[in-house]
Chains A and B, each alone.
With several copies, the nearest count.
Chain A
Amino acid sequence: MDSILSLAAQNLISPIILFFVLGFAAAFARSDLSVPEAVAKGMSLYLLFAIGFKGGASVAAHGIDETLILSILAGVVLSFVLPFIAMALLRVMTGLSAVDAAAVAAHYGSISIVTFVAASSVLSTAGLMSEGYMVAVAAAMEAPAILAALWLVARADAKSGQGGGMDAGLLREILLNGSIVLLIGSFIIGGITGQDGLDKIASFIVSPFQGVLCLFLLDMGLVAGRGLRNARHLLKPGLFAFGVLMPLVGSLMGLGAGLALGLSTGGVMLMMTLSASASYIAVPAAMRVALPEANPSIYLTLSLGITFPFNLTLGIPIYLAIARAITGG
């Protein structure tokens, strides 16, 4: 407990968290500070490119671990199962309609790549290694949750002709969405070019990485803060509680999977973080197409306004402490 607190405190005064808090506070104070959309997108491309490539290069360096395939499979299963748990919690804790609840559930099965990046950077500050292929696990966990949610909607509301529309076009869009393609593509290129390739571009993707992450989290703080301020009337206590409880529940599922797979301490902690995190890029876009009746303010506010800040500030140190305590790492 003590170590969690001191770790949380240490995490809270790292530059990346402080810039997130700065953005959050600026949005609440209604400052006009803002990052242009193109710059924000450019930074997100940079982050996906960098973590994908580094993951691939690390796999190339350490050899393909026998648990790689199993870990990816575990990720797919987790992503598909978590929405069902989320749905059950939502029906108990909140008064959301079936469609709104399913849309929210999809977000919690999927993952937030920035939370993953922040966790990786906490890991490296703590001097812990992790499996390079966790990046591939992250990519594999993006999509299955969406299918689970659509299935939930179809089941809950078999008569409503509108909802849960899944067609070939949407399936292609989900599986080939920009962030998955860039992440997996960079991972493969990093794997092919290995240490040689990494040496060539290290001063672009390794050394400035933390700084770009600070600026990006400033923007995330601004967006999350602005969203929360605009939609605070939606935040009933039940919803708020779900936004904090669900990541903890998810992290325990991730813990189980990580231990079963025999991952390193860092790998277990990243598996917990992935399961705990909620999507705010790929899934919202898919929901606008597949479940247009669901209210975007609800799922965006929950995942970006509550769960993302929670994971960033308190969740990550908690997951690390638990992973360390249990694996003895």
Chain B
Amino acid sequence: MEMHKAKRVEITIEAVMETRLTEALIKAGVTGFTILPVLAGSGRSGQWSREGQVSRAGGMINVVCIYSTRTSGPLLTAAFAVVSPHRVVSVRIVKCCAQSGSLK
């Protein structure tokens, strides 16, 4: 299996923003991402937990997106346009490699 250099962005964002973020990513030509559920967390806006919650308002999701180092510009711009007015966002970039072809 050939490995390529790639970037891995991880965005922790309110669950209600999911569709907006994924639509922005797809519009920017980024079609590969994975969404992990989040149980609980803490940040500047305090501590929270999903236990017993009904509303989607009180929860986050974790969007992981791996992309080739060449396409970083548009991805970040698209994602950040959605993400920036929200206080509850963390973006992390790590160097990594991924199976050829699964990146865009």
Contact = CB atoms under 8 A, between A and B. Distances in A.
Contact of A40 (B20, B53, B86): B53
Contacts of A297: 45-46
Contacts of B53: 37, 40, 223
B51 A36 contact: yes
Interface stretch (A86-94, A139-147, A279-287, A310-318): A279-287
A284 B46 contact: no
Indicate the member of A37, A162, A280 with the most B CB atoms within 10 Å: A37
Interface of A: 32, 34-37, 40-41, 44, 162, 165, 169, 219, 222-223, 226, 230-231, 280-282, 284-285, 287-289, 292-293, 295-297, 300
Given A223-B53, A289-B20, 14 more contacts: A36-B51, A36-B52, A37-B51, A165-B85, A223-B52, A230-B47, A281-B57, A285-B57, A288-B16, A289-B14, A293-B87, A295-B45, A296-B57, A296-B58
A40 B52 CA distance: 5
Interface of A is mostly: helix
B26 to A, nearest CB: 12
A34 B16 contact: no
| Nearest 7 A/B pairs, CB to CB | A284-B57, A285-B57, A34-B51, A281-B55, A35-B52, A219-B52, A44-B54
Interface string B76-97: 0000000001110000000000
Contacts of B61: none
12 contacts: A37-B50, A37-B51, A40-B54, A41-B54, A223-B52, A285-B56, A285-B57, A289-B16, A289-B20, A293-B87, A296-B57, A296-B58
Contacts of B47: 230
B45 to A, nearest CB: 7
Indicate the member of B16, B45, B49, B85 with the most A CB atoms within 10 Å: B16
A288 B54 contact: no
B17 interface: yes
Contacts, number: 67
Nearest to B59: A37
Interface in B13-29: 14, 16-17, 19-20
Contacts of A40: 52-54
Interface of B: 14, 16-17, 19-20, 45-47, 49-58, 85-87
A231 B19 CA distance: 17
A70 to B, nearest CB: 31
Given A288-B16, A297-B46, A35 B58 contact: no
B52 A288 contact: no
Contacts of B19: 169
Contacts of A223: 51-53
Contacts of B86: 288, 292
A169 B17 CA distance: 11
Nearest to A47: B54
B50 A162 contact: no
A300 B87 contact: no
A219 B47 CA distance: 19
B14 A288 contact: yes
A292 B87 contact: yes
B51 A300 contact: no
Contacts of B14: 288-289, 292
A113 to B, nearest CB: 10
B85 A292 contact: yes
B57 A231 contact: no
A21 to B, nearest CB: 16
B52 A162 contact: no
B101 to A, nearest CB: 14
Contacts of A162: 85
Contacts of B46: 230-231, 297
